[in-house]
Structure 1
Amino acid sequence: MVTIWDVAKDSKVSKSTVSLVINNSDAVKMETKLRVLESIKKLGYVPNMAARELQTKVKNILGMVFLVNESAQKSHSFHSITETLFYDTFSGISSQLKDTDYGLLSERFSAVNQTSLPSLIKNNRVDGVFIIGGLFSEAFIKQLQERKIPAVLAGRYFPGIDSVAPDVHHAIYTGAKYLLENGHRNIAFINGPEQMQVAQQKLEGFEKALQETSETVMDKAVVHTDYTGTAGYQAMKQIWESGKRPDAILAASDGIAVGAMRYLYEQNVRIPDDISIMGYEQSIISEHAIPALTTMNISKEQMGEEACKMLLRRIETPNAEIVNHTVETSLVIRDSVRKR
């Protein structure tokens, strides 16, 4: 096994100089640094990260916490929130870390029980953390800030903490406009939980699109529910059993949309012949649905990339100004919407 002593001997420097080079110190001359790096490459030396942490207090591990409605629930369950947001955001994060020394730990954390913090934060196992998703309370963020751990929110804004999120207002506005432009005038909007800020922003986008249309909207329905397939199914059932017969459904997530599609299938309602339906997120389930689901792309991989840049910046410059970044959204047209 190659040791730091072997590198020091090969590059004709001291062990402490090799250590300084490994830690990217500016105290080493460039000529010496290049010679040490050449020896490291030639010998195939891999630094002992555990020993490095003892010396520098740096773990070189970042945490990813995905907020879910129930941590014990299987991630692929129809009753749970589909975790495509986590996986797609992770792809963006990992692409930005490939040329760094950082590794990743992940944890699913229940959005219901937020009297404590995720274990990877409580146990001081990471140098910084990504909080992925919007299912958190003000109390949760306050606890996070009290720990003084570098953190970035991916998927939702919150004052006083770095964040990157899509423009949800504009995304739902764009989706509603697309339905209106295709002749739909009887639109139902199945939104997320009413108490969530992001759901309010989505509702405002929906209302704005309706207000701007030059033609009279015959009817509309707004139902608030959770972001699960089961919740989408029950919301669609509620609309249908109330006697309403919308010509289009706009859903606040692909999971909700697929749940609504299941209920409509059971009622022998054809999509898009009898009713059009749109989702929000651009997840893998939107492409696998039958018919393939027209949806809003919220740029999840880009969100992960930006979140990673922001967290590395926060670790390097703890007192830097708070940044809230917005990623663009776009319409993905598939087969679930037809022109009326």
Structure 2
Amino acid sequence: MSAGVIATAKGVTLGDIAKACDTSIVTVSKALTDKKGVSDELRRKIKATAEEMGYVSSRAANIKNNHIVGVVIPEKFMNPNGSFYWALYNDLVKQFSAEGYYCLIEQISQEDEDKLVMPKLVMDGTASSVVSLGQLSREYAAELVRNMPNLVLLDYYIHGLELDSVTTDGYGGGYELTSYLCELGHRNIGYIGTVKATSSIFDRYMGYMKAMIDNGLEVRNEWTLDDRDYRDFIKIAFPDELPTAFVCNCDEAAFHTIRQLEERGLRVPEDISVVGYDNYLISEISKPSITTINVNSVKMAAETVRILLNRIEFPDSDKINVKISGELIIKDSARKI
């Protein structure tokens, strides 16, 4: 079955409904999905006509056919000991399963990403829709959507590419973490994260910068430190003079930061405070536990499912970009000075 909209034995389509109601397919699509831009009277007429004609959405038809969703992720994000993305993938599986869909995961090697080798589950037709979990390059994402129009980016977005996406509010989270450190009395605050590596790291950095500016504090370049290259985490190049606190782009980066500071003979939080982002398992097992932003992965997964099913049913609808707000979780890795 195609990913378009069809589907009863009678073959009732959006076009049929549009013709019967003397309106456009776009208007019918908006009415059936309760989007703005349609009068209440016309919306009622369209819905009643669709019911009378026996219209069944492609979403419902695909459920009966055990529709398969591919989840593709760069292998550099899949730590064998567990990662935030494993947890997010698990939430995706549960959410799609509740809708009658199956998920298949495929990891993308750095070599395949560089050479624009498309996922096997796309090229062999196994999946007719895809969730891209964890940031791929602009070139790869552009090639992927050419081969798979039913695509949602999860936990990242790419400027200039009109694609459905679900992300956390990294800007707001970075701002809240930095503001919290300011409330504790910190005035010299650095940021750890390779700023241009992913959209989420960049957004969290921008939130950090805005909070520093709003509090009248200086953003010092020597305290903005890379934590990874294009393949993996790297050893952080700390300067001789350190701030009193670091905002880290994720909990894993915060964990590495704490360990490397300890190697220099510094104690967290007694000598320097460190905060992270995600509220992933590592933030709790770390010693000290890491103050962080809780990411609602269940809500992110639910929004991803909603958007992808909408894209399957209404392939020409407007692109949807959703940001999920987080919550500050105070633990043991930051202290008042």
| TM-score normalised by structure 2 residue count | 0.74
The amino acid across from 1:202 in the alignment is: R
Unpaired runs of 5+ residues, structure 2, are 1-5, 11-60
2:242 corresponds to: 245
1:201 corresponds to: 203
Contact 1:70 1:112 in 2 (8 A): no
2:103 corresponds to: 104
Give the 3-state SS of the residue equivalent to 1:199 in structure 2.
helix
Asked if residue 60 in structure 1 is aligned to residue 67 in structure 2, the reply is: yes
1:35 corresponds to: none
Deviates more, 1:321-330 or 1:198-207: 198-207
The amino acid across from 1:264 in the alignment is: L
Give the CA deviation at 1:267. 2.6
- In the alignment, the residues of structure 2 paired with residue 112 and residue 180 of structure 1 have an alpha-carbon distance, to the nearest angstrom, of 43
Give the CA deviation at 1:127. 2.0
2:89 corresponds to: 90
Paired residues for 1:1-340 under 5 Å: 25=8, 60-69=67-76, 75-76=80-81, 83-84=83-84, 86-111=85-110, 113-114=112-113, 115-134=116-135, 136-158=136-158, 159-194=161-196, 196-214=198-216, 221-226=223-228, 231=233, 234-235=235-236, 238-239=237-238, 242-340=239-337
Gap change, CA 1:301 and 1:220, over 3 Å in 2: farther
Alignment length (residue pairs): 279
Q: Moved runs in structure 1, 4+ residues, more than 6 A? A: 215-220, 227-230
CA deviations on 1:234-264 (whole Å, 9 max, x unpaired) are 21xx21xx31122111111111111111112
Gap change, CA 1:140 and 1:217, over 3 Å in 2: closer
Contact 2:155 2:200 in 1 (8 A): no
Deviates more, 1:297-306 or 1:92-101: 92-101
Gap change, CA 1:335 and 1:326, over 3 Å in 2: same
Contact 1:227 1:256 in 2 (8 A): no
Give the 3-state SS of the residue equivalent to 1:272 in structure 2.
coil
Give the 3-state SS of the residue equivalent to 2:125 in structure 1.
coil
CA deviations on 1:268-320 (whole Å, 9 max, x unpaired) are 32111111110111111011101111111232221111101111111122222
1:11 corresponds to: none
- In the alignment, the residues of structure 1 paired with residue 222 and residue 185 of structure 2 have an alpha-carbon distance, to the nearest angstrom, of 14
Contact 2:156 2:199 in 1 (8 A): no
The amino acid across from 1:129 in the alignment is: V
- In the alignment, the residues of structure 1 paired with residue 274 and residue 148 of structure 2 have an alpha-carbon distance, to the nearest angstrom, of 44
Contact 2:77 2:83 in 1 (8 A): no
- In the alignment, the residues of structure 2 paired with residue 215 and residue 149 of structure 1 have an alpha-carbon distance, to the nearest angstrom, of 45
Deviates more, 1:270-279 or 1:199-208: 199-208
- In the alignment, the residues of structure 1 paired with residue 66 and residue 297 of structure 2 have an alpha-carbon distance, to the nearest angstrom, of 27
Give the CA deviation at 1:57. 12
The amino acid across from 1:116 in the alignment is: V
Percent of counterpart pairs with the same letter?
26
Gap change, CA 1:279 and 1:24, over 3 Å in 2: same
Give the 3-state SS of the residue equivalent to 1:113 in structure 2.
helix
| TM-score normalised by structure 1 residue count | 0.73
Gap change, CA 1:311 and 1:296, over 3 Å in 2: same
Give the CA deviation at 1:196. 3.8
Gap change, CA 1:87 and 1:313, over 3 Å in 2: same
- In the alignment, the residues of structure 2 paired with residue 301 and residue 217 of structure 1 have an alpha-carbon distance, to the nearest angstrom, of 34
Considering only CA atoms, is the larger Rg found in Structure 1 or Structure 2? 1
- In the alignment, the residues of structure 1 paired with residue 303 and residue 9 of structure 2 have an alpha-carbon distance, to the nearest angstrom, of 27
Give the 3-state SS of the residue equivalent to 1:177 in structure 2.
helix
CA RMSD of superposed structures (Å): 3.1
